[in-house]
Amino acid sequence: MKNNFKLECYWKNIEAIAKDGASVIIKLDGQRSKDNFYSVVLSGGKLKDGFFRKDGAELDLLLKELIAYYDSLSNY
């Protein structure tokens, strides 16, 4: 992970997604390689029965993708 990464930069967006009825999970998995150390999962809300999941080495990039994906969904 980048040394200058700050979760606070994404927190308002993550809270807004949760307040919209979705669940957001951020996982750090010490049993995985550093290439897949982080996982983000998004379900509920606009996704209805669907979900978004991505694994990777850069939590900031994963959160950006999660937020962009949720923002791209229609409201119906």
Q: Which residue has the higher pLDDT, 68 or 3?
A: 68
Q: Are 42 and 69 in contact (CB under 8 A)?
A: yes
Q: Are 35 and 57 in contact (CB under 8 A)?
A: yes
Name the helix (H) or strand (E) containing 60.
Answer: helix 59-72
Per-residue model confidence (pLDDT) at position 16: 96
Residue 76's pLDDT band, with cuts at 50, 70 and 90, is very low
Inform me whether the pLDDT recorded for 1 exceeds 70.
Answer: no
12-70 pLDDT, tens digit each: 999 999 999 999 999 999 999 999 999 999 999 999 999 999 999 999 999 999 999 99
